[in-house]
Structure 1
Amino acid sequence: MRVRVLALALTATAACLALPSQTAVAASPAKPYDFNGDGHPDLAIGVPDGTAAGKKAAGYIAVIPGSANGPRTSARTTVSQSTAGIPGSSETGDRFGARLTSGDLDRNGYADLIVVAPGEDLSALEDTGRITVLWGSASGFTRGTILPGSVAYKGTGFAGLATADVDGDGNLDIVTGNRGDESGGLSVALGPFAPGRAPAALTTVTDDGIPHFVKRIRLAAGDIDGDGRTDVAVAYNGLEGGGTAYLRGTPAGLVRAPSWYGETTGESLAVGDFDGDGRADLAVGLAAFGAHDTEEPWVPEHPLPTRAGGIVRVLYGSAQGPAATRLPVDLDQNTAGVPGSDEAGDRFGLTLAAADLTGDGRADLAVGVPGEDVGAVVDAGSVTVLLGSPSGLSTAGSRAVHQDTAGVAGGGERGDGFGGATGCGLLLRDLNRDGRADLTVAATGEDAGSGRVWTLRGTATGITTAGSAAFSAAGLGLPGPTGGLAFGSTLCP
């Protein structure tokens, strides 16, 4: 693997790079998003177009603590680059919070939050972007570190983000997807992130199969080949076309797989062990399906069917990588057992999320269908939930939910886009710590683009609307103005 080491400016006087002081190491690292270490995952919602310190689109993050009853909205807090102890300053157009991911980087029992501000400028270079680590603690986010080695190219912006142990040393690493003319591709900061020490280098993976001039990039991480190291799948699009790349985790870091079916661009990715065989599987959402980037089918022996409303393609993991020993499986709204029917503009698969909803040890898949018409309401949107089984994702027990489903607050309106019409408005995470993932879903077009977020509990039989909750930026009392925020568009990395 050939890498280019990005220039670092690590000096003893660089306050922005100062890491937290040494703290006692907990018996075990916290799970992702448990920022205060109480055992309950918290909910972090980026509001990149929000006003902070009077600066439009400077951005901030709403943090809602978890509890046995789900998110405690009454205890929500916000954090921005103007928060005491957080490096940087809020500036117009920074869009702090546009991408988020989490992991206990320093293994002290408090999950940390990694935040992208794609509009951050570096001297005269516009929109180079910045990544900041917010260090978790019992008292919230009071300290932060700017990740050194940011790519110094105009328009880089950091469009993808993930935490993953790519070298298998037991420490989390940070993987970023970079957009821009010369910097398109992946960068990796290898752990450990020990208190008092910054990462040694942020390197760019140059042999990643991703071309220059990338404008959009998505990442998904999981151990697809079952070797104990995390692999990374990448969906990208740009001036040189689009595709999907697969990079294996190795002791030396990420290495491009020798072959990958990448002729068709996926709008979304999700990784989960749908068949429970111990290897992660990959789901690719082809919501804008119909426009191949080449005339060749994605997998020559298994061409994609023509579906105007979108397709989810599932590639099952193996020791050789995804789809090496088993043909991909395509699911759409014309598949028997999947709710709805295939219609142009449905955008089935525009957003995806994978986790174990039922507690049976196998991952389930939530599929955003933000362009779904509900009754006569155009683009009201819906979410379809498909359950895992010993043979993989199954349509048995599948269910669609939307704003007109009994128990879901509100009612669908034209253009609401329930299921995440922009950004990444879909999440599966165990918010109440009952051993089952819960569904968090956004309708970013709700209330003329202000946005709203719902949470629905997972049960042994799937998703339930009983006890569902909904909240908006205005309802949470977030800094205004709240109009046009597309609240909930950054639920996942």
Structure 2
Amino acid sequence: MAAVADLNGDGITDLIAGVPHHIAGTDVDEEKVNAGEAFVFSGKDGSVLFTLSDPTAEEDGKMGAAVAGVGDVNGDGVPDLAVGVPGKDIGGEDGIPNVGLVYLFSGQTGALIRTLNHPDRGGAEAGAAFGSALANAGDVDGDGVSDVLIGAPGEGHVFVFSGKTGNLLFDIASPVTEDLHSFGAAVAGGKDFNRDGKPDFVVGSPNLEGLRGAAYIFNGSDGSLQRTLLPKTRQPFAKFGSSLCVSDDLTGDRRPDVAVGAPGQNVNGLLQAGAITVFDGRRGRAVQIISSASPQTRGLFGTGIAAADFDGNRTETIIAGTPNEDAVIETVSHLEIGQIEIQP
């Protein structure tokens, strides 16, 4: 799910949510399991504004595995939407499986604007999973339109496309050549960490080095590696870099910062309770480690991260998803129901 600005002009930010396991088709003989779909909801009343479907739906395409709000791609004055289809095959049954693609939809009408394909479409790796992660990259090329950041973790690449033209701006490969590193499993952008006037990119690689994981900041001017982000304590199977959040300010220094999730991190002896590390965006230092207020074994705190300024002090607060946490609701215990925590 992602917040996507005010699409319907009611003054309230709207939302897009993906349903990658949606079954497409009404005829049992033509049903396509896990074809996927996405829905755009009014932030004001929760009503459905648009249903976004794959025009060439196929089984296990998993449309909506990643969603994002992007800039005004088609110039109609309304921000538009990006939806990933990482399981999309190329060339049918005898083609290349799970290469993936990304659709750009109009935020005003829900109509398809453009398809972003893997740059090496004919020679892409099977299982590239292009479109597994998406983010608004900010205006990288200076043409006045926000660009699109796309992860292909199955082959360890991240791509930046022009939002205005659909042209490829950057192809960024993992700095470490290691199998199963999942570089590009999480991406974030739109913040200028080095103050060169260009928004930079943050990329997660959660399976690196025995699933210890890492995250990287890349320069938005030339795509070069700017900084490697590592937790204070590296733990096998922590999957640091599984989730990312860039913020205008998390530390109070009025500079952009980064939060990185490690949902497999052990906390106080609890296996896979999960943790989030906040990094000073200026120096790349780990300045805060956040865990659940009530950590639980296999709670997976930090599977999802967001940030918002709730009190108007210009410093944002971390919001974290803990999908496997147990909870007691009205005296009834619910196992692995999950929770969303807003940090104090």
* TM-score after normalising by structure 2: 0.80
Distance 2:263 2:325 in 1: 12
Identify the structure with bigger relative contact order (alpha carbons < 8 Å, sequence gap 6+): 1
Deviation digits for residues 334-382 of structure 1 (CA, Å, limit 9, x no counterpart): xxxxx32x33222222221112223332211112223323244332332
1:42 to 1, 14, 19: 14
Distance (Å, rounded) in 2 between the aligned partners of 1:281 and 1:317: 4
In the alignment, which residue of structure 1 is the partner of 2:86?
A: 118
Change (3 A) 1:283 1:120: same
1:145 matches 2:114: yes
User: What CA distance in whole angstroms lies between the structure 2 residues aligned with 1:101 and 1:210?
Assistant: 28
- Amino acid of the structure 2 residue aligned with 1:379: E
1:316 has 2:280 as partner = yes
- The corresponding residue for 1:247 is 217
2:210 is the alignment partner of 1:233: no
Contact 1:37 1:109 in 2 (8 A): no
Which has the higher mean CA deviation after the structures are superposed, 372-381 or 128-137?
A: 372-381
- Cα distance, 1:224 vs structure 2: 3.1
CA apart distance, 1:289: 1.1
**Contact residue 166 and residue 231 of structure 1 kept, 8 A:** no
Which residue of structure 2 lines up, in the alignment, with residue 22 of structure 1?
Answer: none
Tell me, in whole angstroms, the C-alpha distance in 2 between the residues paired with 1:49 and 1:260.
33
1:166–1:250 CA contact under 8 A, matched in 2: no
Unaligned runs of 5+ in 2: 26-30
Q: CA deviation at 1:213?
A: 3.5
Separation of aligned partners in 1, 2:323 and 2:168: 40
CA contact (8 A) 2:51 2:110 kept: no
> Match of 2:28?
none
Displacement of 1:211 in angstroms is 4.1
Native 8 Å contact 2:87 2:99 kept in 1: yes
Paired with 2:300 and 2:7, the residues of 1 have a C-alpha distance of: 34
Shift in Å at residue 110 of structure 1?
Answer: 0.9
1:164 alignment partner in structure 2: 137
- Partners of 2:7 and 2:107 within 8 A in 1: yes
Q: Deviations over 1:33-65 (max 9, x none)?
A: 433455432221111111223422211111223
Query: 1:366/1:201 Cα in 2 relative to 1: closer, same or farther (>3 Å)?
Result: closer
Matches within 5 A, 1:30-69: 32-53=4-25, 54-66=31-43
CA contact (8 A) 1:176 1:188 kept: yes
**TM-score, normalization: structure 1?**
0.57
Q: CA RMSD in A?
A: 2.8
Could you tell me which of 162, 187, 198 is aligned with 2:159? 187
Distance 2:6 2:178 in 1: 36
Tell me, yes or no, if the aligned pair for 1:218 and 1:269 is still in contact at 8 Å.
Answer: yes
Deviation, structure 1 residue 175 = 1.3
| Matched residue type, 2:71 | D
Q: Which residues of structure 1 form unaligned runs of 5+?
A: 1-30, 83-88, 291-303, 334-338, 387-397, 399-493
Q: Which amino acid aligns with 1:153?
A: E
Is the Cα contact below 8 Å between 2:257 and 2:279 reproduced in 1?
yes
Pairing 1:404-443 to 2, within 5 Å after superposition: none
Query: Which one has a bigger Cα radius of gyration?
Result: 1
CA distance in 1, matches of 2:106, 2:157: 27
- For residues 167 and 313 of structure 2, what CA distance do their matches in structure 1 show? 40
Q: Aligned match of 2:324 in 350, 371, 385?
A: 371
1:52-96: CA deviations, max 9, x gaps?
234222111112233xxx2342x44312024xxxxxx11222111
> Equivalent pairs: percent with the same residue?
27
Q: Distance in 1 between matches of 2:134 and 2:315?
A: 25
